Amino acid sequence: MPSEFMRLALDEAESALGTTSPNPSVGAVIVRDGRVVGRGHTQPPGGAHAEVEALREAGEAARGATLYCTLEPCVHTGRTGPCTEAIIAAGVTAVRYSIVDPDAKVAGGGDARLRAAGLDVEVGDGAAESERVLEGYLKHRRTGLPAVIVKVAMSLDGRIASASGDARWVSGPEAREWVHRLRSRMDAVIVGSGTQLADDPALTARPAGVDVPHQPARIVVDSRGQTPPTARLFSEAGGPVLIATVDGVSRAWRTAIEARGGEVLTLPGKAGREGASHVDLRALLGALGERGMLNVMVEGGGVLLGALFDRRLVDRLYAVIAPVVIGAAAAPSAVSGRGAQVMREAPRLRDLAVSRLGEDVLVEGVPVWPDAASGGRGGE
């Protein structure tokens, strides 16, 4: 468990999620004589880092104080100066941080600089909690890809709509409110073209009574160029709209999408079971990573989610399960794709958490696939 003051720093870090990419969402507090004298979190790109924000609030009270920070302070100059130098200049005498920054520009260098200046440095307080907050940043720095969070709302029998395609509403109002808050912490929200055509979603973050400082990018995976220029995506204010497709789509469709303010991103295709070319999802994630996106959420439909699970590209799953039974073989399922052919191939969730959202149940966890030696299929 994190210490009392590191918990406050973690709260600061969580409050900035979705606003800092490609920088990590970091929180910091400064404590002197058992009292918090400064706190801060990472500002949007180009703004101050968490440590500098906390130092500004603390002022002269930072001299002789202890800094609690959720990530190793940076030691390099980017759009802002090194946090290590600001900490040393302010007269802070001790630093407690949660985890080492895996970025090659830091990677222990911040720790070494602070120790060389004579500061008392300890690492590890709140490490597990900080890794959870920073899961997208950590994955991005290690692989170049954003963390992929899948959110699905389904019935007790695993359906996301009725046989007629009606999906409003599978989940209750509390779950829908929770989704809007979650969207505001994401760099992008992604759906497949089937979901776009069936539901015509705006994909914006609209939590009730909250002034949202950040709207995620809105992305449709559309290999056939089916997204209409009249879609709500283009008429409702929100984050930028990106349609991911492959070579061969209509030039007229592309022109019409761009005329509505959307960006058409052409990516490599992968042959599907029907022989048609589908967007290479790993290539899409690579392109989003190059744009500095750290956390992206995929909200459906079953075809897209099935492809992500088949390719082992899912980092975290949120399953909202409603107390309703839809039935019907023709009703769409939450996850399709090839799937597990035998039970030993099926991924199971670790770090499992179960909670209530009104009448619905939220199941959260990290998928773990069996390795090839135990009979599972290897990832891409």
Tell me the per-residue pLDDT of 153-201, one tens digit each, with 9 for 90 and over: 999 888 888 787 777 788 999 999 999 999 999 999 999 998 999 889 9
Would you state the pLDDT for residue 375?
40
> For tokens 């900080």, what's the residue?
130
- How confident is the prediction for the chain on average, in pLDDT? 91
Would you state the pLDDT for residue 47?
92
187 Cβ neighbours under 8 A, 6+ residues apart = 18, 21, 136, 146, 216, 217, 288, 292, 293, 294, 295, 296
Is the per-residue pLDDT at 121 higher than 50? yes
Q: Which of 4, 12, 51, 274 is catalytic?
A: 51
Q: What's the alpha-carbon Rg for the chain, to the nearest Å? A: 23
Question: Above pLDDT 70, what percent of the chain?
Answer: 96
Residue 377's pLDDT band (boundaries 50, 70, 90)?
A: very low
Q: Which has more confidence, 162 or 40?
A: 40
Residue 373's pLDDT band (boundaries 50, 70, 90)?
A: very low
Is the per-residue pLDDT at 40 higher than 90? yes
Is the per-residue pLDDT at 378 higher than 60? no
Would you state the pLDDT for residue 275?
56
Mean pLDDT of 108-122: 95
3-class DSSP state for residue 44? coil
Residue 2's closest CA among 132, 177, 138, 110? 132
Would you state the pLDDT for residue 77?
76
Least confident of 213-227, 270-284, 341-355: 270-284
| CB 71, CB 97: distance < 8 Å | yes
Residue 178's closest CA among 13, 366, 356? 356
Q: pTM of the prediction? A: 0.90
Q: What is the pLDDT of residues 283-315, one digit of tens each?
A: 999 999 999 999 999 998 889 999 999 999 999
| CB 17, CB 133: distance < 8 Å | yes
CA–CA gap between residue 19 and residue 25 (Å, rounded): 8
Residue 273's pLDDT band (boundaries 50, 70, 90)?
A: low
Would you state the pLDDT for residue 20?
94
Q: Which has more confidence, 222 or 338?
A: 222
135 belongs to the catalytic site: no
CA–CA gap between residue 284 and residue 265 (Å, rounded): 9
Mean pLDDT of 349-369: 95
Burial environment of residue 22 by CB neighbours within 10 A (0 to 12, 13 to 18, 19 or more) = middle
Mean pLDDT of 226-246: 94
